Every structure is written in structure tokens, then in C-alpha cells.
Amino acid sequence: MANNVYDIAYHLEAAVKESGEFKNLQGLYKEVFAEESTKRMFENFRNIQLELQQKQMNGIEISQEEVERAQQTVALVQQNESIAKLMEAEQRMSMMVSELNKIIMKPLEELYSNVESY
């Protein structure tokens, strides 16, 4: 059975790659990275985002200046139509992965919530 679960997981991987959400995201990445200025803007945004996430994960306080810089960068990035579309597609893809995760985790949630019956 264990191999079967992994086989199913690999089929799910293939299904995700063939999904409209993924193909749309892939196309939008190509569009953003095709233009150098848009690519730099997007990469700068991602770097700021990752830097702040790292600080949060390490328990390091984020300064007001960093928050303001991040907000300014988000506002700038959202004005770029290609990047805005990409961010929307990333959000849809993230929601799909979250929903898949809920489905996958459902047996464990049911097990943990029914511990008294064992």
C-alpha cells in the first residue's frame, strides 16, 4: 500500500503540472521574466519578502522602516500589470495547494479527533 500512496502522489504531481492554474502561472512567469526591468522589479519584491519572512521565522523584530519599504515595494509592484497578474495566479495556485493539503490531511484529522473511540 505504501508504494501505492507514492504512486498516487506522483499522479497528483502530474495533474498539478497539467492544471490550468499551473499552466497559467507558468506562462505569467515567462512573461514577467521576459522583460529585464519587470524581472528586476519582481526579484527585488521577492527578496524583500523572503528577508522579512526569514526575520519572522528567526524571531527578529521587523523595523518600521522595513515595513514601510515593503509596503512601497508592494504598491510599486502592483502597478505593473504583468506582476499583478502573476501575484493573482500565485494566490490561486496557493489556494489549490492548500485545498489539496486539507484533503490529504483529512484522515489524520479524523483520527486525532476520534482518539476517544480507540
Lookup: cell for 8: 498516487
Task: For residue range 30-46, list pLDDT tens digits in order.
Answer: 999 999 999 999 999 99
* pTM for the model: 0.81
**Per-residue model confidence (pLDDT) at position 54:** 94
Spans in the chain with pLDDT lower than 50: none
Residue 69: name the closest of 94, 89, 49, 98 by CA. 49
Q: How far is CA 12 from CA 25, 92, 93, 106, in A?
A: 17, 17, 14, 16
Across the chain, what does the average pLDDT equal?
93
* Domain 2-117 is found in CATH 3.40.50.880: no
In whole angstroms, give the CA distance from residue 101 to residue 109. Answer: 12
